[in-house]
Every structure is written in structure tokens, then in C-alpha cells.
Structure 1
Amino acid sequence: MTTLWQASQQLQAGNASPEVFTESALRAAQDPLKEGDLVFTTRYATQAAQQSTAASARWQTQQALSAIDGLPVSIKDLFDVQSEPTTAGSHLLLNAEPAAANAHVVDRLHHAGAAIVGKTNMTEFAFSGLGINPHYGTPANPWRREDKRIPGGSSSGAAVAVADGMCLGAIGTDTGGSVRIPAALCGLTGFKPTANRINQVGTLPLSASLDSIGVIAHDVRSCWLLDSVIAEQPLELQQVELRSARFAIPQTRVLEGLDEDVALAWKHAIAVLEQAGATLIALPLEELDELNIMNARGGITAYEAWQWHQQSALAQPEAYDPQVLVRVQRGSLLTEQDASELHQQRKAWQHRINSALADFDALLMPTVPRIAPTLASLEDAQQYMEVNALMLRNTSVINMLDGCALSLPCHQTGSAPVGLSLASVHGDDARLISWSLAVETALNWRS
């Protein structure tokens, strides 16, 4: 599978045409053995083909708009596209007012010449880490597709589109792990930047205090490249050596209840990094347990989601995915005073975590504690809620911290996909992605 980074390098060397990559993506989306109808809520095949053809001419005259000019990417169904309703994986918004303008990130992609192949399916209103959608169907995880395992969410279609070659990179959102979870479960790389690095105008919110826009691709360099297109300030990759790294491994919360596959991949990754000379420090970080208290009644996410959904949830509750509605309704029990206290608690918590991490280059942890379960195993509502909380447990730490994080594959070839997460504090994105590249190289995922 050619990565976004490799395709870009081939274009810059004059060894390929963007049409080859976009045509391949569009064919994959039509492949009956794959699930393009479940991956996309809207397709732009004609426009993508036209954009790729126009980009080919620009590359031939050395007038490319960007390093991804003409290459196929997808956008999550949370981003406004002018003259279309933004449905956010729901039926509730099918007849909503069409967007008056593109979301900022969509405009960035257009200005870069990207061939946008479609809007990708997602958990309704982005309010789950599982990726299940009863309205549009749920695309199966490409790993052992016959098992019908979850893709992870909420950016479910985004991850499956990349894994199945329907695009080379995807733009998603991440409020509690919605880019990193599906990346981990589908054997991909997912990058959640510091939230204020990417302009969120024209993006339908879940929780404005925790929302961020991130990317999914096959490897670290591809994520870095796609991030550099949608961000106002591209990150500068730095030269780092693992033998000088000091990584913290939290001993609270994030290592609990790992299943056999995740535990095996985690131990292997840690052994590789130690062999490469990295210093790994077990850090108690007991403050992480405080999140259970802060989120006991739904937390900031539930409160802010209720503010957005209140009118619709009261008037048309039957239009919602019942599993999403339950989570939205929890916010109705929180007052404005509750929210104010939660924000104060979060700020104090952030200060203490930032102080604890001051001497470290990054946090290391498994992205999620278990491999993708089957859809059938989650039909029970209680099991759904328990597994959803488990999937979000580790990743949501970084959203509460307002930090940055990247998940990259750490499993052995042929094994169930498992993600290794590197994370850091607010604004440390350039160093984080540089360390992630070094870790990826050490794990030999990409040569």
C-alpha cells in the first residue's frame, strides 16, 4: 500500500501522476468486496477525478498547489461543504439548512489541490469511541472483515477508507480519542494535534472545550504532511535520537485491564524502545484517577453536548441513536454552576499534570486496552456502554489535558491491530511528532 507521503514523493520526483492514486482510490470505493457504501455518507467521485486531472497538468508544469495536489483524501461528515447539509452521521440533520460556506479545513484542502473523494461515515454526532452507526450502517474493521469487528470511532469511515485504499489520508475530529481509537483498531496512524492549532470554523461541535481536528494516514510522515496542509503553521520535524529520550509510562489508569493481544504488543514495543536506548520511567501519575470523579456525571462533554442538542433531543428523541441519546441526556443533569466547577477542576488538574511531565519528552501508553470487539458482542446496551468507556479511557486523558497525541501501530504483522500512543502537553506538537517518527522507525513499521 502506497502511503500519502510516498505518493507525494513520487509526484515531486516526476515518477507518477496524481490520477493514478485517485483512480485507484475511487476503484477501491466501488469494490464489492469492500464497503464503500458504508464508509461514505456522500461521495465526490466526479469532482475528485476532475481535481486530480487538473493537478496532473500542474505537476507537469511545476505549478503544483501543494505536496498533496491531486491526491485522494476524505473528510468526516462533521465538516461543512457549501450548499450541502452537514449531517454528522445522523438522520436528524438530513433536511438541515445547507452550509453557507465550506469549513475552514475544507477550504485548506481545496487550496492545496487535494482530491476530496467523499464525506466519511461516523458515530452519530461523534459521541462514541466504537464507530457504530444504526442509521447509515457500520463499516467493518478491515482486519478479519469476516468477523465484523468495530472500526472504532467516532471517525469510523475515515479509518476504514484509509485502510482499504479509498483515500491516502483522512481528516477527522477527536474529542476523546475519535481519531486515535479507529487508527489503533484499524492498524493505522492517527494524530490529534493541540486543539487550537487547527481552525474549527465550519465544524459541527460535540464539546467545544475538548474538540480538535486530526488526521489519519498510514504512517507518521503522512500524518505530518496532511497536518501541514490543514494547519496555519506547519510543524517543523526535528532531529531526535531515542538514546536521549526520556519517556514516562503512567502507572495509574492506562495500563489496567489490557487484553492479551494489547499486552503482548505493548511489552514488545517497550522492549524495542529500551533496546534503542530510550529511558523509560514508571511514573505514578495518580492524578489520572481524578478523571473518574470529574466525568462521573458525564463531565464537560455531556454538559456541552446537551447545550447544542437540547432542543432536538427534547422534540425528536426517536431520531437519535439510543446509545448516543443516553449520553447526550446526561448533560441535562448538570447546571451552569456544575460546568464552571468542572472547568476550574480541569484547569487545576492540567497544571499539576503539566508539572509532573516537565522533565519528560512524552508519555507512552497503549492507545486502547483491547483489540476491536465484534459488532455482535456489543448489541447489549450495557456491554456497549462498558466497552465504549474502556475504549475512550486512555485517549480522553489527552483531550482533558489539552495536549497532543499520536497513535501508531505496534503489533506484529498478521496480528490484531494494536496502537502505541505517544502524548505530550499543550503546544508540544513538533517535538511529539518528531519523537513519534523515531519510535516508528525503531519499531520498523516503515523502512
Structure 2
Amino acid sequence: MKNTPTLASLADDLENGRTSARKLVDECLARIADSSGEGARAFLHVDAEAAIEAAEAMDRLREVKAAPSPFAGIPVSIKDLFDIKGQVTRAGSRALEDSAPADADAPVVARLRRAGFIVIGRTNMTEFAYSGIGINPHYGTPKGAWQRGVGHVPGGSSSGAAVSVVDRMAHGALGTDTGGSCRIPAAYNGIVGFKPTQRRVPLDGGVPLSFTLDSFGPLARSVGCCAVLDAVLANEAIVPLQPRPIKGMRLAVPTTVALDELDDEVARIFERALETLSRQGALIERIAVPEFLDIGLMNAKGGFAAAESYAWHRYLIASKGNVYDSRVSLRILRGESISAADYIDLLGARKSLIARATVHLAPYDAMVLPTTANTPPRIADLADDKAFTKANLLSLRNCSLINMIDGCAISLPCHRKGEVPVGFMLAASGGSDRRIFELAAAMEGVIRV
């Protein structure tokens, strides 16, 4: 993505007077307002006046050498799942439209603002974040970057987040990831998406899907961009990213579950990326990961997402279930039949899963696997519920493996110009976030060549 702005290049332009925060905001607002683009479907709310005022404030601070960070003045988008002071958090649903406005920013939003990032608007999403496809029947579905004239799904649930970045309506995005909702839309749109270790980033101020599996993470144009945003979200120092040498990397390709039912183009492009890394000296080993077989059994009744979303939604869905997307309410209501004993069993099974997977993966720097088993489906092909369900499962399957083992993961584009977007995922056990960034930073420049 040569000549595509990154956070680092924008920060340099701001520092050296080649652009201003006001100019960046004006450009993003113009793209959002462009009737020929996806802005009307990618964004549910745009507070142009507040964004302009914030940009002008950052420009004044930079003039007197008081900018809160080098990135102050760069516009970012916020998924509609997060509280923004004075705004209603709808979570992509009509059921929350009459809720009271938030009285405070979510901690992650507050941290972005504190670093000087400009909140450009709230992005569209799958209702209540309960799908990897990105379709929203209430507010429309933004078309993904691939063959836009045809109309392919953007991936979900952070659909508008990815489209806002790829279309330069924002220069980074805040998303969530319960089973791939940062990584799937990143893969489908040819950008980078990161799922942090859950415990690093506070979950307050976001509408939950599964408080066991939810993570809050960034979508952006490069590994370095995601690393900057992740550090801000985790309230950590922004440290220059040092790519690790590819030669000598120990990479495990899980042959259990993760390579099943791959679309032909996904399999071909993924294998090509592996060959490229191998030629550069990476040590790639294909391994069985029997722990992954347990996950299907754990999710047989709906798993954590069904149980925990039902607990949150049960009163709302009783009073306003008629305005829910039926595909979403059906999945939530599966949680009604999960007993307390079932849920306790789930907790115990996951604890064992995490412990066993951590030991199994310890000898490797990372696992590598396709982000999704499928390429972005056409929106028109998913009107049928069976087709939707199949595509949704294939989009979520690989990503959700990492949430279940409490890991961290990043999705990098590995397709070449003119090819269908395919994501290449690096993943590791929880707490390995920095290592994943360093590995990914080395890979991103070579796996698409």
C-alpha cells in the first residue's frame, strides 16, 4: 500500500507543517459525505462540528509545542458499541435508540482523546456485534473494498470500522473482537486488524457480547499503526516497533480445524505466503492442535456468547425483540437453554483449554493460519439464511479459536494487487502481544511480494 498514509507518516506531516489536523479532518469529512462512496452506510453518526473544533484545538497546541502526542489531530473512527459522552450508544440496533446519552467516554475512547486523536464519528456494525459477516438490516450494509460494484460483505462485526479506514474516512479505527470482529473485516478489506490479550485493555463503556471473550482492538493500514493504537488503548508507552528477523522464526501451522474447508483462493494465497517466509529462513512446522477439537463441543449449545449475551439482553429482548435482526435474536436466545451447570462446565473446560494450548504452543514464536476460511461473500448471495449461516461460520471459525485460548492475534493482508483479499493471521498465547507485533512488522512487507 505504497503512498497510503500511515499514522507515522501523518505524524511526520503534522510535525513538519505539510498538513494540519483541520485539513485531515476536512478531508475525512468530505469522503464521508461523498454520495458516491460508502460513508452513509459506514457511519451511523458524524459530529463534524466537534471534530473540527477538536482539530483546531490540536493545531493550536502543536503551534506552541504542546501537542499531547505526535499523533494529535489524526482522525479515527469509533465503533457504535462504545460510549461517547453525550451520544447514544446503539450498538447497531434500533432497540437502544431511545437510551439516554452516555455521561462519560468509554476508557478506550478517553485514552484516544487524551493522545490527541480526533473522534470523527461512530461506525456501523453488525447488530450487537453478533456476526462475522457485517450485514445490518437496520442501517444498511457498507460494501467491502473487494469488487465494490458487485457488492461483497465488509466483514463483521466491525464493518464500518474497516470501511472507514480503507476508504480514508478515518486513519484508524476502534473495534471489538469476540470471535474475530477486528480481524475478519481487516482480512476482507485488505488492512490490518489486531486482537489484544483481553486483560490488557479495559472493557468498561462498551456494550458486551461475551464478557469472557470480548477484546477491544484497532483496525488500521499497517502493523505499526495498529501497534500505536494498541499502546494507547492499553495505556502503555508508545515504543518504536523493531521487526524481528524472519530468518529463524519458529512458526506453527495448525492442521487441526484451521485448514478445513478453505476456499481455493484462500488456500493458494496462504500457501504462497508460507513459501515466501520459508525461502527467507522461517522455520515452518505443521502441527496437530487437538485442543482445537474441544472448541466445537464447547460451542455446541451456543457457548459463552449465547449464554452471556442472553444474560445481558433477556429483559430488552422481551420488550423489544420485534425490532432485533432476527438472525441476531435467534443466536442470543440460544442462551436461554444454557443452564447454570452448563455454564460452569464451560468455564472449567476453557480453563483447561487455555492451560493445555499454552503448553502446546510454547515452543513456537507464533501460530500462522488463514484469518478466514472464506473470501468475502457477495451480499446478494446471503439473503438465504442457510447460506448466511454457512458463510458466517467460515468467517468466524479460525479467529474464534484464538479468543477461546485467551490469545492475541493480528491479521495481515497477504494477497497481491488484483487478487481477492485474504488475511494471514499470526497468533500466540495471551501476553505475547509485543512479540506478535514484531513478527508481523517483519512479515508485512514480504508476504505480498
Q: Secondary structure at 1:359's aligned position in 2?
A: coil
Correspondence 1:306 to 2:305: no
Q: Which of 46, 50, 58 is the matching residue for 1:47? A: 50
Q: CA deviation at 1:181?
A: 0.2
**Which runs of 4 or more aligned residues in structure 1 lie more than 4 Å from their structure 2 counterparts after TM superposition?**
none
* 1:28 match: 31
> Are the equivalent residues in 2 in contact too, given 1:238–1:430 (CA < 8 A)?
no
Q: Which of 373, 378, 390 is the matching residue for 1:386? A: 390
* 1:272 match: 276
Q: CA deviation at 1:12?
A: 3.2
Correspondence 1:294 to 2:303: no
Q: Which of 187, 206, 210 is the matching residue for 1:207? A: 210
> Are the equivalent residues in 2 in contact too, given 1:244–1:277 (CA < 8 A)?
yes
Q: Matched residues in 2 for 1:235 and 1:294: separation?
A: 38
> Are the equivalent residues in 2 in contact too, given 1:238–1:431 (CA < 8 A)?
no
Correspondence 1:370 to 2:374: yes
* 1:416 match: 420
Residue ranges of structure 2 left out of the alignment (5+ in a row): none
Residue ranges of structure 1 left out of the alignment (5+ in a row): none
Partner amino acid, structure 2, of 1:294? M
Q: Percent of aligned pairs with the same residue?
A: 42
Q: CA deviation at 1:5?
A: 2.6
Q: Matched residues in 1 for 2:21 and 2:139: separation?
A: 30
> Are the equivalent residues in 1 in contact too, given 2:32–2:169 (CA < 8 A)?
yes
The superposition leaves residues 269-308 of structure 1 with CA deviations (integer Å, 9 ceiling, x where unpaired) of 1011001100001111122111110101101111000000
* 1:137 match: 140
Q: Matched residues in 2 for 1:239 and 1:30: separation?
A: 38
Give the stretch that moved more between structures: 18-27 or 404-413.
Answer: 18-27
Normalising by structure 1, we get a TM-score of: 0.97
Q: Matched residues in 2 for 1:240 and 1:149: separation?
A: 35
Correspondence 1:147 to 2:150: yes
Partner amino acid, structure 2, of 1:443? I
* 2:220 match: 217
Partner amino acid, structure 2, of 1:272? T
* 1:439 match: 443
> Are the equivalent residues in 1 in contact too, given 2:243–2:440 (CA < 8 A)?
no
Aligned runs of 1:19-418 on 2, under 5 Å?
19-234=22-237, 236=239, 237-418=241-422
Partner amino acid, structure 1, of 2:174? I
Q: Secondary structure at 2:362's aligned position in 1?
A: coil
Q: Matched residues in 2 for 1:165 and 1:262: separation?
A: 26
- RMSD of aligned alpha carbons: 1.3
Partner amino acid, structure 1, of 2:86? S
Q: CA deviation at 1:198?
A: 1.0
Question: How many equivalent residue pairs?
Answer: 445
Q: Secondary structure at 2:122's aligned position in 1?
A: strand
Cα 1:258/1:115, change in 2 over 3 Å: same
Q: CA deviation at 1:235?
A: 6.3
Q: Matched residues in 1 for 2:394 and 2:7: separation?
A: 31
> Are the equivalent residues in 2 in contact too, given 1:22–1:72 (CA < 8 A)?
yes
Q: Matched residues in 2 for 1:407 and 1:9: separation?
A: 26
Cα 1:13/1:419, change in 2 over 3 Å: same
Q: Matched residues in 1 for 2:85 and 2:64: separation?
A: 30
Q: Matched residues in 1 for 2:355 and 2:20: separation?
A: 49
Normalising by structure 2, we get a TM-score of: 0.97
Cα 1:75/1:253, change in 2 over 3 Å: same
Q: Secondary structure at 1:415's aligned position in 2?
A: coil
Q: CA deviation at 1:17?
A: 2.0
Cα 1:239/1:39, change in 2 over 3 Å: closer
> Are the equivalent residues in 2 in contact too, given 1:194–1:402 (CA < 8 A)?
yes
Q: Matched residues in 1 for 2:106 and 2:322: separation?
A: 29
> Are the equivalent residues in 2 in contact too, given 1:155–1:172 (CA < 8 A)?
yes
The superposition leaves residues 345-382 of structure 1 with CA deviations (integer Å, 9 ceiling, x where unpaired) of 01101111101101000000000011101111110111
> Are the equivalent residues in 2 in contact too, given 1:197–1:233 (CA < 8 A)?
no
Q: Secondary structure at 2:444's aligned position in 1?
A: helix
Q: Secondary structure at 1:316's aligned position in 2?
A: helix
Q: Matched residues in 1 for 2:420 and 2:445: separation?
A: 20
Q: Matched residues in 1 for 2:415 and 2:128: separation?
A: 31
Give the stretch that moved more between structures: 135-144 or 1-10.
Answer: 1-10
Q: Matched residues in 2 for 1:213 and 1:247: separation?
A: 26
Q: Matched residues in 2 for 1:12 and 1:413: separation?
A: 32
Q: CA deviation at 1:91?
A: 0.2
Cα 1:16/1:379, change in 2 over 3 Å: same
Q: CA deviation at 1:238?
A: 4.1
